[in-house]
């Protein structure tokens, strides 16, 4: 991997302002999912290393919380500028370890950096209130204070943006952080730590604990009384485990978990725009995002036309290495991810589903690239209806009425993202309000932005990231009652 700034390709954990090896000396391999080659060996931290990082963050909190909002903002702005200046290198690292197309990686770096810029500005707007007193001699004031040390546990599918989306508001609020990135994509996290080091954060404010043993690190974080908040993005199964583990120390918790996003196309939709939106919502990052369209619903009158146009667009996507120009579909992250989508497609075929395109690995049996797939003749009994697919598989269901599709769309324990296309404004309001999801895309397949609150309901979690609401989970409200004022 040829980088302009070779300092970004580090392989050690970052604790208390220093890049360091694990106390055990252990390492683990980071693999390029496109070709299976080893990229590097990375420090494999354990429980003792995590405790050291938590202690460093706790000590640094006493300093960082007392910085003025303006001073914190200036350092965050430095971090933002360094990310933009090193965009090409950061994207190359990301694509190499994660597999997504380079164009998507560049977009992720910009998106991730935008949270740092946004929350640098929000640091100055942590306002309290004065409240009319309940007695003549009383005055009431509220202030907001940082919650404390934050444990951030992040996934592999957006290894840069999922860090900045959590860490930037925490730092802006005056918290310090211990980050546990995915063992599949640790290099992006370490590169961000290097830039944070250059940006001027005091030692211990940002710590990155790389490890192949997520279970142990998570257990240490959730058990530690010094960590006052856990922010996790990942599967609903793991989120529930972490939530249970936080009970004994009564931590604040925010969870961004799985999804089963419906994508609805009504009979008055602009079909060409709906097709483009469906392709964008379904196949970015090879379908490996929590807000990817999972179940596509097309109304009966336009079903055949939509399927024809959609399948044609899917067939036109370039497949290959994420580092090759024009690639749209790169490899999935690991073998078990491919095996899961293979099982999902096999289940659909066994129950009468038809494969219009794709439905297999691209090339030899060892590849992690799964061809973008369209399924029809699908029904509620299939795994493609019930499970989060997390791969480039698009089942297209037929529906008759608005009431029917709303019932089907909401027929899931998940409630993260949803999408629909149509032109009837009365129906747009009805459907948007009826969908049981934290986010609704109306005539668009792209909903992620720094300025809007990202998050779900039901078993997709709680808490919001981004927007002015993104600061809330990192702050505590303190009420002061002043008496004796006469």
- Provide the pLDDT confidence category of residue 363 given band limits of 50, 70 and 90: confident
Q: What is the pLDDT of residue 366?
A: 82
Position 486 pLDDT exceeds 90: no
Residue 365: is its pLDDT beyond 90?
Answer: no
* Mean pLDDT, the chain, whole residue set: 97
What was the pLDDT predicted at 364? 83
| Burial bucket for residue 429 (CB in 10 Å: 0-12, 13-18, 19+) | exposed
User: What pLDDT digit, counting tens, does each position of 372-388 carry?
Assistant: 999 999 999 999 999 99
Q: Is the pTM of this model over 0.85?
A: yes
How many Cα atoms sit within 13 Å of 258 on the Cβ side? 17
Q: Which two tokens stand for residue 484?
A: 């004796």
CA dihedral for 190, 193, 198, 204, sign (positive or negative): negative
Active site residue 256: yes
Compute the average pLDDT of residues 107-131: 97
CA distance 84 to 105: 13
Domains of the chain, earliest start first:
6-256+459-479 (3.40.605.10), 261-448 (3.40.309.10)
Q: Is position 436 annotated as part of the catalytic site?
A: no
Closest CA to 340 of 303, 375, 391: 391
| pLDDT tens, position by position, 120-148 | 999 999 999 999 999 999 999 999 999 99
Among residues 357, 410, 352, 404, the alpha carbon closest in space to that of 382 is found at 352
* Residue 1 pLDDT greater than 90, yes or no: no
Non-local (6+) Cβ contacts of 316 within 8 A are none
Q: Which of these is catalytic: 183, 194, 256, 465?
A: 256
Q: Which of 45, 290, 292, 465 is catalytic?
A: 290
What proportion of the chain, given as a percentage, has pLDDT over 90?
99
């Amino acid at each position: 991997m040829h980088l302009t700034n070779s300092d970004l390709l580090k392989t050690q954990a970052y604790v208390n302002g220093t890049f360091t090896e694990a106390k055990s000396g252990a390492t683990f391999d980071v693999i390029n999912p496109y070709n299976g080659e080893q990229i590097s060996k990375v420090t494999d931290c354990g429980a003792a290393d995590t405790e050291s990082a938590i202690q460093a963050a706790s000590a640094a909190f006493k300093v960082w919380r007392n910085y003025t909002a303006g001073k914190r903002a200036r350092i965050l702005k430095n971090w933002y500028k360094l990310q933009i200046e090193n965009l090409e290198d950061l994207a190359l690292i990301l694509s190499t370890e994660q597999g997504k197309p380079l164009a998507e990686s560049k977009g992720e770096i910009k998106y991730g950096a935008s949270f740092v810029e946004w929350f640098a500005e929000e640091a100055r707007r942590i306002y309290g209130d004065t409240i009319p007193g309940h007695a003549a001699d009383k005055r009431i004031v509220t202030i907001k204070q940082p919650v404390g040390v934050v444990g951030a546990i992040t996934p592999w599918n957006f290894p840069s943006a999922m860090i900045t989306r959590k860490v930037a508001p925490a730092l802006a609020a005056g918290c310090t952080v211990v980050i546990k990135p995915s063992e599949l994509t640790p290099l992006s996290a370490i590169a961000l730590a290097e830039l944070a080091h250059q940006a001027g954060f005091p030692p211990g404010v940002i710590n990155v604990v790389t490890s192949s043993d997520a279970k142990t690190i998570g257990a240490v974080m959730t058990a530690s009384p010094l960590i006052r908040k856990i922010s996790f993005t990942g599967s609903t199964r793991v989120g529930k485990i972490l939530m249970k583990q936080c009970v004994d120390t009564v931590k604040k918790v925010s969870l961004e978990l799985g999804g089963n996003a419906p994508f609805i196309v009504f009979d008055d939709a602009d079909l060409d725009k709906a097709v483009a939106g469906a392709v964008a919502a379904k196949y970015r990052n090879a379908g490996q995002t929590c807000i990817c369209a999972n179940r596509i619903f097309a109304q009966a009158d336009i079903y055949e036309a939509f399927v024809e146009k959609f399948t044609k667009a899917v067939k036109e996507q370039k497949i290959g290495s994420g580092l090759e120009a024009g690639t749209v579909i790169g490899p999935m992250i690991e073998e078990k991810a491919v095996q899961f989508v293979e099982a999902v497609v096999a289940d659909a075929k066994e129950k009468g589903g038809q494969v219009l395109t794709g439905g297999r690995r691209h090339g030899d049996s060892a590849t992690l690239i799964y061809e973008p797939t369209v399924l029809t003749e699908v029904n509620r009994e299939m795994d493609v209806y019930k499970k989060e697919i997390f791969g480039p598989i698009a089942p297209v269901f037929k529906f008759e009425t608005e009431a029917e599709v709303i019932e089907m769309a909401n027929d899931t324990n998940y409630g993260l993202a949803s999408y629909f296309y149509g032109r009837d404004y009365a129906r747009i309001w009805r459907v948007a309000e009826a969908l049981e999801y934290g986010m609704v895309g109306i005539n668009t397949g792209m909903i992620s932005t720094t300025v809007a609150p990202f998050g779900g309901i039901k078993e997709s979690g709680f808490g919001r990231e981004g927007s002015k609401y993104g600061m809330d989970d990192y702050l505590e409200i303190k009420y002061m009652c002043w008496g004796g004022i006469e």
